[in-house]
């Protein structure tokens, strides 16, 4: 019995270690003082973190990513909320559509999206435009936000809004006072995930933006494909990962994110 318990724990921790290892190595390697990472490292320092914070190029790349992801996730949640309301409350509700929409987004074949969008954009003359990029990011994040918001809304009693109305609230106010506050955990969850998808995206962005809007992942990707990764990239990546981990830990503690996906 004891041995079995230990064995279970061992397997579990091995799998967890595998999940964490790449991120841990990423963060660790950012402390390597050398220009190219090697293990064991010659010397550990904060050098690249200092340079990262001082570099205007990188600052603008991270800023670009942040702006893009913020706008895209706000749009995605706004449209996602409308779509989810229509699909769960409105005349559009229908079981099969709902089921497909609930399953599809997790597999989200980004490459397929990217190839399709790239051609559509070329025809519409949107290629390389920032507006087009925002639109593309909104489109690729939309299915997930619809999924999360639909799951959220389907757990909220539609009678609540009716009750508010019968008590004298106009429709918009009834929504704002009942459904919306109750859907807030879902709204924040989907905003966070859309932000992360958009912020981290390299596939769709490289396909349709070219070099016009240099986001941090695109910069990192081109280094990975080319001469190798700049240690400053490692340092920024490490900081981003650390930030994401904190956010996700909070999200999981507060909103049970893993259950909403």
Partner 1 sequence: MVPPPMTSYLKIDAIGKSYGTTRVLHDVRLDVAPGDFTVLLGPSGCGKSTLLRIIAGLLDSDSGKLVLQGDDITALPAWDRDIGLVFQNYALFPHMTVAENVAFGLDMRNLPKAEIKARVAEALDAVRLGDLGDRKPAALSGGQQQRVAIARAIAIKPRLLLLDEPLSNLDAVLRASVRTELRDLHDRTGITTIMVTHDQAEALSIADRVVLMNEGRIVQNDTPEGIYREPASAFAASFLGSPPANLFPLPTASAAQTTGWTPPPAVAGHLGTDALLALRPEALKLTEEPTPHALPAHLKRIEFQGADRLAHVEALGHPLIVRLSDDQTLTRPDVWLTLPDTPRVFSKTTGALIAPATKG
Partner 2 sequence: MSIWSQPTGSLIVDPTPTIKNYARIAGDGYYIRGLLRTLWLSLATTALAALLALPLSWWIVRRAGRFRGLILTLVLIPMVCGALLPTLGLMNLLGPLGVINGTLKSLGLIDRSWKLLGNQTGILIGLVHAFLPLMVLPLVSALDRLPRDVEGAAMSLGAKRLQVWRRIILPLSAPGLIAGSALVFCAALTSFVTPLLLGQGKVATFATMAYQQASLVLDWPFASALAMVMLAILALIGTAAWGAQKWAAET
Interface contacts to partner 2, rule CB under 8 A = 8-9, 11-12, 15-16, 18-26, 28-29, 36-40, 103-104, 106-107, 109-112, 114-116, 118-119, 122, 193, 196-197, 199-203, 206-207, 217, 220-221, 224-225, 229, 233-234, 237, 240-241, 244-245, 248-249, 252-253, 256-259, 261
Minimal distance, residue 191 CB to partner 1, in Å? 19
- Contact between 254 and partner 1 by CB under 8 A: the answer reads no
Nearer to partner 2, 139 or 169 (CB): 139
Q: Name the binder of 101 from partner 1, partner 2, none, CB < 5-8 A by kind.
A: none
How far apart (Å, rounded) are the C-alpha atoms in residues 257 and 190? 9
Element (H, E) at 217: helix 216-225
Per partner kind, with CB cut-offs from 5 to 8 A, the member of partner 2, partner 1, none near residue 23 is: partner 2
3-state secondary structure of 229: coil
Compare residues 145 and 178 and give the one whose CB is closer to partner 1.
178
The DSSP element (H or E) to which 55 belongs, if any, is none
Q: How far is the CB of 155 from partner 1 (least distance, A)?
A: 11
DSSP run (H or E) holding 188: helix 180-200
- List binders of partner 1 among 154-193 (CB under 8 A): 157, 159-160, 162-170, 173-174, 177-178, 181-182
The rounded radius of gyration (Å) of the Cα atoms in the chain is 22
26 burial (CB, 10 Å; 0-12 / 13-18 / 19+) is middle
Cβ closest to partner 1, residue 52 vs residue 149: 149
- The number of helices, as runs of H, and strands, as runs of E, in the chain is 13, 0
Give the tokens for residue 143. Answer: 């299915």
Q: Could you say which of partner 1, partner 2, none residue 15 binds, taking C-beta under 5 to 8 angstroms by partner kind?
A: partner 2
Q: Which is nearer to partner 2, 82 or 97 (CB)?
A: 97
Q: Measured from the CB atom, is 63 or 92 closer to partner 1?
A: 92
Alpha helices in 30-170 (DSSP H): 47-54, 56-88, 95-103, 110-124, 130-153, 159-166
Give exposure, 164-203, as e/b (b: 16+ Cβ within 10 Å): beeeebeeeebbeebbeeebebbbbbbbbbbbbbbbbbbb
Residue 107 interface partner, choices partner 1, partner 2, none, CB cut-off 5-8 Å depending on type: partner 2
Number of residues that bind partner 1 (CB under 8 A): 18
Choose the one of partner 2, partner 1, none that binds residue 211, judging by a C-beta under 5 to 8 angstroms depending on kind.
none
- By beta-carbon proximity to partner 2, the closer residue of 21 and 63 is 21
Q: Which of 132, 98, 108, 123 is nearest to 205 (CA)?
A: 132
| Shortest distance (Å) from residue 54 CB to partner 1 | 46
């Amino acid at each position: 019995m004891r041995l079995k318990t230990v064995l279970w724990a061992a397997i579990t921790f091995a799998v967890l270690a595998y999940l964490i290892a790449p991120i841990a190595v990423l963060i660790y390697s950012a402390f390597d003082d050398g220009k190219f990472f090697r293990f064991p490292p010659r010397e550990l320092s904060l050098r690249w973190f200092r340079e990262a914070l001082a570099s205007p190029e990188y600052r603008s790349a991270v800023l670009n990513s942040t702006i893009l992801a913020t706008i895209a996730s706000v749009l995605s949640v706004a449209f996602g909320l409308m779509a989810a309301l229509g699909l769960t409350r409105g005349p559009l509700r229908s079981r099969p559509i709902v089921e497909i929409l609930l399953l599809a987004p997790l597999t989200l074949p980004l490459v397929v999206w990217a190839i399709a969008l790239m051609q559509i954009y070329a025809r519409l003359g949107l290629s390389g435009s920032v507006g087009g990029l925002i639109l593309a990011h909104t489109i690729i994040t939309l299915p997930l936000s619809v999924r999360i918001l639909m799951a959220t809304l389907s757990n909220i009693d539609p009678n609540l809004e009716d009750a508010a109305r019968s008590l004298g609230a106009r429709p918009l106010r009834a929504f704002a006072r009942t459904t919306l506050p109750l859907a807030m955990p879902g709204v924040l969850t989907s905003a966070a995930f859309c932000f992360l998808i958009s912020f981290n995206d390299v596939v769709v962005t490289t396909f349709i933006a070219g070099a016009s809007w240099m986001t941090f992942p695109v910069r990192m990707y081109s280094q990975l494909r080319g001469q190798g990764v700049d240690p400053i990239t490692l340092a920024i990546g490490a900081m981003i990962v650390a930030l994401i981990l904190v956010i996700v830990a909070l999200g999981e503690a507060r909103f049970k994110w893993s259950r909403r996906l």
